Amino acid sequence: MPSDIDAALALLPAERAGHPAPSDLALRREGMDAAQAAGTWTVDPPPEEVQLGGRRTLIFRPQAPILGRVLHLHGGAFRLGTPEMEGPLATALAARCGVEVIAPQYRLAPEAPFPAGLRDAFAVLRALAELDDGLPLIVSGDSAGGGLAASLTMLAVRAGIPIAGLVLLSPWLDLTVSAPSYAANAATDPMFSRDSAASGAELYLQGLDARHPLASPLFGSVAGFPRTLVSVGSGEVLADDARSFQEKLVAGGVDSELSDIPGMEHVAVVRSLAMPGSTETFERIVHLVHDITVAKSAGLDVTASPPA
């Protein structure tokens, strides 16, 4: 496996020095820190904070025996966000499915541009793979974290790290910010916009080609991908990213499902399980996770076949 891991890492461009966050972004981060300190995302039981692959990571554990693991990457347009934001969803998923949910803190732009965050995610994935305890590993992410999850799966395939499933929630998969849904859904997406996406992509890429397949996985290969759930609200500006990626998965022969829900806002299932569309989305995630953990418990191979 070491040579495969080296080959996977060789697909990434070299890390580059970034620059300080602009004042408006710094203020938004301060607001998120204040919300966290006020207990906005506090859950019971609280997660365990550990160092995994050298990265700060929160682990949300079930009360029952552990049947599998979900490595979840938070959103925030590559420039915001913490694993604490995933607490309500992670706690509900852990309790319902008997899985550990692992939520790492990856480096953010513009201080750490692409590929720093993806390298962090891969370091955590590699540490989980090295546990080698037979538990199935599912990768997931929301918004920018969904893009990272898809890119991470590409690296995992190349590295020979078995992934049993992939969950993409309102994923941002094309950093060219050119999809028609940016204009078509501008009035129905209160959370994200073309301007916000363009700014986030610029801070993250800092001159790198937006079509790099590990920055914009819509332009990458899905060979060897595991069973995948793609979830999006029909009125999101990222709706076309999700639909186009689903078309790519189908064309590549991947066992995949698109959940395209009218009236559901961006990453609703992460924000609140009471929001429109969240319950349906959560149940679809539970169904995929349950199928994988039950199949693994029965001794079945739940990973995708390696690409030819």
H/E/C letters for each residue in the chain?
CHHHHHHHHCCCCCCCCCCCCCHHHHHHHHHHHHHHHCCCCCCCCCCEEEEECCEEEEEECCCCCCCEEEEEECCCCCCCCCHHHHHHHHHHHHHHHCEEEEEECCCCCCCCCCCHHHHHHHHHHHHHHCCCCCCCEEEEEECHHHHHHHHHHHHHHHHCCCCCEEEEECCCCCCCCCCCHHHHCCCCCCCCCHHHHHHHHHHHHCCCCCCCCCCCHHHCCCCCCCEEEEEEECCCCCHHHHHHHHHHHHHCCCCEEEEEECCCCCCHHHHCCCCCCHHHHHHHHHHHHHHHHHHHHCCCCCCCCCCC
- Token readout for 178 is 């050119």
Task: Output the pLDDT for position 202.
Answer: 98
Task: Output the pLDDT for position 304.
Answer: 60
Total number of domains constituting the chain? 1
Is residue 278 included in any domain, yes or no?
yes
**The length of the chain, given as a count of residues:** 308
Per-residue pLDDT of the chain (308 residues; tens, 9 = 90+): 457 999 999 999 999 999 999 999 999 999 999 999 999 999 999 999 999 999 999 999 999 899 999 999 999 999 999 999 999 999 999 999 999 999 999 999 999 999 999 999 999 999 999 998 999 999 999 999 999 999 999 999 999 999 999 999 999 999 999 999 999 999 999 999 999 999 999 999 999 999 999 999 999 999 999 999 999 999 999 999 999 999 999 999 999 999 999 999 999 999 999 999 999 999 999 999 999 999 877 778 777 644 44
Is residue 146 included in any domain, yes or no?
yes
Q: What CATH code is carried by the domain that includes residue 188?
A: 3.40.50.1820
**Cα separation values, 148 from 41, 173, 271, Å:** 22, 8, 19
Is residue 196 included in any domain, yes or no?
yes
pTM more than 0.75:
yes
179 neighbors 194 (Cβ within 8 angstroms): no
The closest of 141, 77, 64 to 109, measured between CA atoms, is 77
Active site residues: 143, 236, 266
Phi, psi of 137 (to 5 degrees): -115, 125
- Token readout for 194 is 């073309």
Is residue 302 included in any domain, yes or no?
no
Which residues face 139 on adjacent strands? 71, 166
Is residue 113 included in any domain, yes or no?
yes
Task: Output the pLDDT for position 305.
Answer: 46
CA atoms within 13 A on the CB side of 113: 21
Residue ranges making up the domain that contains 16: 2-296
The closest of 105, 80, 93, 107 to 25, measured between CA atoms, is 80
Task: Output the pLDDT for position 298.
Answer: 76
99 neighbors 62 (Cβ within 8 angstroms): yes
Find all residues with CB under 8 Å of 251, minimum gap 6, and list them: none
Which residues face 233 on adjacent strands? 261
Is residue 304 included in any domain, yes or no?
no
155 neighbors 139 (Cβ within 8 angstroms): no
